[in-house]
Chain A
Amino acid sequence: AQTVTQSQPEMSVQEAETVTLSCTYDTSESDYYLFWYKQPPSRQMILVIRQEAYKQQNATENRFSVNFQKAAKSFSLKISDSQLGDAAMYFCAYSRGNNRLAFGKGNQVVVIP
Chain B
Amino acid sequence: ETGVTQSPTHLIKTRGQQVTLRCSSQSGHNTVSWYQQALGQGPQFIFQYYREEENGRGNFPPRFSGLQFPNYSSELNVNALELDDSALYLCASSLAISGGYNEQFFGPGTRLTVL
Contacts and interface: CB of A to CB of B under 8 A. Distances in A.
Interface stretch (B11-19, B71-79, B100-108): B100-108
Which of the four size classes fits the interface of chain A?
Answer: 20 to 34
B8 interface: no
Contacts of A44: 106-109
A33 B101 CA distance: 8
A99 B96 contact: yes
Which of the four size classes fits the interface of chain B?
Answer: 20 to 34
A99 B108 contact: no
A32 to B, nearest CB: 9
B45 A100 contact: yes
B101 A103 contact: no
Contacts of A4: 42
B26 interface: no
A4 B43 CA distance: 12
B5 to A, nearest CB: 11
B9 to A, nearest CB: 10
A87 to B, nearest CB: 17
A83 to B, nearest CB: 22
A68 interface: no
B112 interface: no
Interface of B: 31, 33, 35, 40-45, 48, 56, 58, 88, 90, 92, 94, 96, 100-104, 106-109, 111
Interface of A: 4, 6, 33, 42-47, 50, 52, 91, 93, 95, 97-106
